[in-house]
Structure formats: structure tokens, C-alpha cells
């Protein structure tokens, strides 16, 4: 390390106490993080691409600075799904600093990584006060049975009104309308569980019927419509 001539001529003065960085909460303990390996935690957040035409929800489980688990969910342009597939190959096994400085293919995924990096190094993780942190695989609990991302797809126009196409419960098969043609409930299909049952040998029609459900005052409707065709 080189010093300038001015610094070389200076008299040494002792510094006062150095207490190190402020402790941050990590997996049920307070940690003074000095190196990447001092960082642990589970967190998730979102990022967006430059034209803001797509977004990524990224979930990371980090142990001793290394990404052990990654869940990549995207919505927007169709190319994002393939970017997510590549990011899933890239992220596990990297330190969070490596991942921050790695091209994760999609701008939205890169931005999500940046936002998560800030959360985790400041101790703002979901597992800050969970002793021992969360086990690997915890992000899958967000997906529920069938391991399918929860999405909301609603289409609406001034002239024809709203159409619920997909909600938390599942794929919307029909909307229940009252006498004023207002939505009072809907029937949904749990796609993930249905496909799992079919894979295990259940007849497709039987699996379909088993995974139908209703929400709201569905039985009280005056009329039912298929939101995709009516």
C-alpha cells in the first residue's frame, strides 16, 4: 500500500476505541458482520426490469454467506421464465456477494438480487429472530400443495366489467352473479393438486371434481358465467 508524501510526513496519533460494526439480528442472535461468511438468513423480495414491464419475486435462504436455496418467480414477458430457469442454475452455491455481481440473465432478477442483498446485510431478513434460521426448502411453503406460484389474473373493461381468471384459490372456472349482475362468488379449480392426483393414477375427471371448490355466496347466484367465454 502506498502513501502520499504528505501522509508519510505526518505524526502518528492513536485512534480511540473501535467497537466494530453495529450488531444485526440473524437467526435468533446478534451478529457483528465483518465478512460475507458472517451473513445468514432467509428473505424474499421483488425486482423489476428497466422498462418496468416485468417483475421477479426472489426468495433466498443463506447460511454462512452462501445461498443454499433459491426460489425464482417471474411475471411479465415470456422470456422471463427461461431467465428464471437459468438463474435457478446459477444462484445456489454462490456467496451473496458473488450473486450480486453475477449476470442473472434477466434485469428483474438482477434487481431482485440487489434488493435482497440490501435486506440481508442490514439484518432485515424474515428469519432475523428465528433461532437457527429456517430449514432449506422453506420457500416452498409459500407455494402450498402442488408447488405452484400464487397468481392473480383479472381482466376488466368499462363496457363488460371484470373477469376473475385466477386467484389464490386456483383457476377460476365460473363466476356467480346476483340479480344486478355483480360478482358474489366463484368456483375454482386447484390445478396443482389435481395434476398431482392424475400423475398418481386418479382418473382425470375424478381428479377434476375432487379439486373444485367455491368461494363467497356461490350457491346464491342468479346466474353463472364462464369468465373466459362469456
DSSP code string of 118-146: HHHHTT--TTTTSTT---TTGGGGGTTTT
**8 SS3 class:** helix
Q: Please, are residues 69 and 63 in contact by the beta-carbon 8 Å criterion?
A: no
| Arithmetic mean of pLDDT over the chain | 94
Average pLDDT for residues 118-132, to the nearest whole number? 94
pLDDT for res 13: 92
For residue 113, the surrounding DSSP H or E stretch is helix 107-121
Q: At what angle do helices 79-90 and 107-121 cross, to 10 degrees?
A: 40
SS3 content of the chain, % helix, strand, coil (to 5): 25, 30, 45
Average pLDDT for residues 29-44, to the nearest whole number? 95
Average pLDDT for residues 178-190, to the nearest whole number? 96
- What is the pTM (predicted TM-score) of this model? 0.85
**Cell match 377460476: residue?**
172
Q: Would you place residue 18 in the very low, low, confident or very high pLDDT band (cuts 50, 70, 90)?
A: confident
Amino acid at each position: 500500500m502506498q502513501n502520499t508524501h504528505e501522509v508519510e510526513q505526518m505524526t502518528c496519533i492513536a485512534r480511540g476505541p473501535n467497537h466494530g460494526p453495529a450488531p444485526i439480528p440473524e437467526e435468533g442472535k446478534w451478529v457483528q458482520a465483518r465478512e460475507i461468511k458472517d451473513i445468514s438468513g432467509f428473505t424474499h423480495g421483488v425486482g423489476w426490469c428497466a422498462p418496468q414491464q416485468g417483475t421477479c419475486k426472489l426468495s433466498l435462504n443463506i447460511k454462512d454467506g452462501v445461498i443454499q436455496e433459491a426460489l425464482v418467480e417471474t411475471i411479465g414477458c415470456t422470456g422471463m421464465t427461461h431467465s428464471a430457469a437459468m438463474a435457478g442454475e446459477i444462484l445456489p452455491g454462490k456467496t451473496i456477494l458473488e450473486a450480486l455481481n453475477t449476470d442473472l440473465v434477466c434485469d428483474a432478477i438482477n434487481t431482485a438480487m440487489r434488493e435482497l442483498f440490501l435486506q440481508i446485510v442490514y439484518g432485515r431478513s424474515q428469519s432475523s429472530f428465528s433461532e437457527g434460521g429456517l430449514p432449506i426448502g422453506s420457500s416452498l411453503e409459500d407455494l402450498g400443495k402442488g408447488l405452484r406460484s400464487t397468481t392473480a389474473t383479472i381482466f376488466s373493461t368499462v363496457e363488460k366489467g371484470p373477469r376473475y381468471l385466477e386467484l389464490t384459490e386456483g383457476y377460476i372456472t365460473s363466476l356467480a352473479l346476483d340479480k344486478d349482475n355483480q360478482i358474489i362468488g366463484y368456483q375454482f379449480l386447484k390445478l396443482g393438486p389435481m395434476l398431482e392426483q392424475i400423475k398418481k393414477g386418479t382418473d382425470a375427471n375424478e381428479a377434476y371434481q375432487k379439486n373444485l371448490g367455491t368461494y363467497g355466496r356461490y350457491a346464491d347466484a342468479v346466474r353463472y358465467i364462464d369468465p373466459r367465454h362469456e
